[in-house]
Structure 1
Amino acid sequence: MAELEDLAETVAVLDLYLKPIAERPVDLSDPGWQDKMRAAEPLDEAGIRAEAEEALRALLGHYEHGDTGTRAAVRAVFDRCPSFSWAAHLRGASFRTRLLHLSARDHGRDTRDEIMALGDIRAEATAAGVDIRPLLREVAELSSTVNKYGMGSMRDLLLRAAD
């Protein structure tokens, strides 16, 4: 558990680098604001891509292979570090890794965003000819059963997506 505590400290520092980027105001009067948001690479802008990806891989490893308490601790890291949670992603990650990441974020700041992310993962899998239902069920077993925002637990969301 000491390794996870050290990792949580690293993620907290990375979160501080990302916070000004994550909280930067968006000029909605700019007609190109959506394109600018899509093109943004916050990890590159902060100069911490390698460190953030390494930390994210380690967090997801703890999440995937840990016990219930370890998974809860990983979820707590994402909850305490919202800028890291928002910005850190693994380019080219497998569907399973992306589902583990979604599960570990445990609703993030807005369940609706996570539902959309889940829909995107499912659509990409379908387009690639991958039956993602077994992965959804597998990751659901690792997921929280807490209904944080009244839309169902992360386990519920993943199981519904598997049906």
Structure 2
Amino acid sequence: MEWLAGIEARVALLDAALRPIAEEPVDIGDPGWEERMRQRPSAMDEAGVRAEAETVLRAVLTAYADGDDASRVAPRGLFARHTAFRWGVSLAFAPTPDGFRLRLPHLSAVDQGSDTRDELLALRDLCEDARRAGIDLGPLLREAAALSSRVDKYGMGSTRDILLRAAG
């Protein structure tokens, strides 16, 4: 993977910039903590890395979507190794078929992250956004499933299986 050598260094720098934000403790016993979290800027903005982070994420997702099963292992590994990058970097997308087509490979490449339950909640929210926008997400979920890992990492099904179940 030629792209991986260059991109991994950039991802590592972004991961280091985002890590203090990702690991900052949150006192959920403190009244008003939820509102303060909602008011806070995105991690990319807080770290001052939005432009670079979005550029790098687009490159990773393009390589992921354009690759074959064997080459998609490398982007999944990037997200597994660089957890602050995985947590804090995302692309804004419009609630259109093309917007969801952009978002779903990201969900696929994260490959359940550290906890399948978090990804299931993200997928549920994504599906609800699509329903509200009147978009039939089924075909797009099946497209993303075709890119996805068949490995059942945490006993709740593989990412491919999860996306296919959501597609109906």
Scaled by the length of structure 2, the TM-score of the pair is: 0.94
Counterpart-to-counterpart distance in 1, 2:117 and 2:36: 22
Counterpart-to-counterpart distance in 1, 2:107 and 2:140: 12
Counterpart mapping for 1:95-110 below 5 A: 95-110=100-115
Query: Structure 2: any 5+ residue segments left out of the alignment?
Result: none
1:39 aligned partner = 39
Counterpart-to-counterpart distance in 2, 1:79 and 1:129: 33
- Aligned residue for 2:164, secondary structure, equals helix
1:4 Cα shift?
Answer: 2.1
Alignment counterpart, residue 120 of structure 1, candidates 88, 104, 125 = 125
Counterpart-to-counterpart distance in 2, 1:102 and 1:48: 21
The count of corresponding residues between Structure 1 and Structure 2 is 163
Contact kept, 8 Å, 2:93 with 2:100, in 1: the verdict is no
Find out whether 1:6 has 2:17 as its counterpart: no
Contact kept, 8 Å, 2:93 with 2:102, in 1: the verdict is no
- Aligned residue for 1:52, secondary structure, equals helix
Q: CA RMSD in A?
A: 1.0
1:145 aligned partner = 150
1:92 Cα shift?
Answer: 2.2
Report the AA paired with residue 56 of structure 1. Answer: L
Report the AA paired with residue 70 of structure 2. Answer: G
2:87 aligned partner = 86
Report the AA paired with residue 45 of structure 1. Answer: E
Scaled by the length of structure 1, the TM-score of the pair is: 0.96
Counterpart-to-counterpart distance in 2, 1:129 and 1:52: 30
1:66 aligned partner = 67
Q: Residue deviations 1:53-94, cap 9 Å, x none? A: 000000000000011122100000000000000000101251
Query: Structure 1: any 5+ residue segments left out of the alignment?
Result: none
**Percent identity between the two aligned chains:** 55
